[in-house]
Chains A and B, each alone.
Chain A
């Protein structure tokens, strides 16, 4: 069974902390994505990556960075967590053309206090 695995289901962090959200896929997919999901706003794209060491900004990259050192792993980094980054974070992956859509991870609910 193909999978996208997010390392934490729930996280609580303090304002100002550096936060790492990890995502691993076992499907040898080229593309990986990070979205945040907020009520009434749907999913908004933060960053994505086509290949190892490559990254592209999405619609809301401010306050975030990413790392993709290996094909199967895509990390989202909150450099200095703030309360407005409290959200559900979803990782997804797809094959090169993405014609058949994404496979999503189960999500990480992050609370910044």
Chain B
């Protein structure tokens, strides 16, 4: 059974600092997704990673995938307040469904 572990669950950062969110999963998969959720809103797709070594960047966020280590990272560079949200990783399972991590609630403080 596919299990997805995300850490940390809570992250408080100062503006301008860098940090990384980690996503580990338990069984082989070649599909890894990152989503963002703002309070009271639904999930918005950030990145889709479909192969080992895949790296994608959008603004201050960069996601990478190591399928051999079953690990994805979401790196935040020079954080700004607008990045405050909850970030979820999700791993593709058989049958086109996916399993989600518990989420990382990020707060960026001035």
8 A Cβ contacts from A77-113 to B: 90, 94, 96-107
The answer to whether the Cβ of B106 comes within 8 Å of any Cβ in the partner chain is no
* Residues in A whose Cβ lies below 8 Å from that of B100: 35, 42-44
What is the CA–CA distance of A62 and B31 in the complex, to the nearest angstrom?
28
* Residues in B whose Cβ lies below 8 Å from that of A59: 99
The answer to whether the Cβ of A31 comes within 8 Å of any Cβ in the partner chain is yes
Contact B9 A43 (CB under 8 A): no
Q: How many residues belonging to B are interface residues under a CB distance threshold of 8 Å?
A: 25
Question: For the side of the interface on A, what is the size category?
Answer: 20 to 34
What is the CA–CA distance of A100 and B48 in the complex, to the nearest angstrom?
6
* Residues in A whose Cβ lies below 8 Å from that of B25: none
Please name the residue on chain B nearest to A100 by beta carbon.
Answer: B48
The answer to whether the Cβ of A69 comes within 8 Å of any Cβ in the partner chain is no
* Residues in B whose Cβ lies below 8 Å from that of A41: 102
With contact pairs A90-B42, A104-B43, A106-B42 given, residues A42 and B97 touching in the complex (Cβ less than 8 Å) = no
The answer to whether the Cβ of A74 comes within 8 Å of any Cβ in the partner chain is no
Return A19 CB to nearest CB of chain B, in Å: 20
Return A30 CB to nearest CB of chain B, in Å: 8
* Residues in A whose Cβ lies below 8 Å from that of B31: 98-99
* Residues in A whose Cβ lies below 8 Å from that of B45: 101-103
Q: A35-B100, A42-B102, A42-B103 are in contact. List 9 more A-B contacts (CB 8 A).
A: A33-B97, A40-B102, A43-B90, A48-B95, A50-B96, A100-B48, A103-B45, A104-B42, A106-B42
10 of the cross-chain contacts (CB-CB < 8 Å) are A42-B6, A42-B100, A42-B102, A43-B43, A99-B50, A101-B48, A103-B45, A104-B42, A104-B44, A106-B42
Q: Which residues of A are in contact with B by a Cβ distance under 8 Å?
A: 31, 33, 35, 40-45, 48, 50, 56, 58-59, 90, 94, 96-107
Q: Which residues of B are in contact with A by a Cβ distance under 8 Å?
A: 4, 6, 9, 31, 33, 35, 41-45, 48, 50, 88, 90, 92, 95-103
Q: Report, nearest first, the 4 A-B pairs whose CB atoms are least far apart.
A: A98-B96, A43-B100, A42-B102, A42-B100
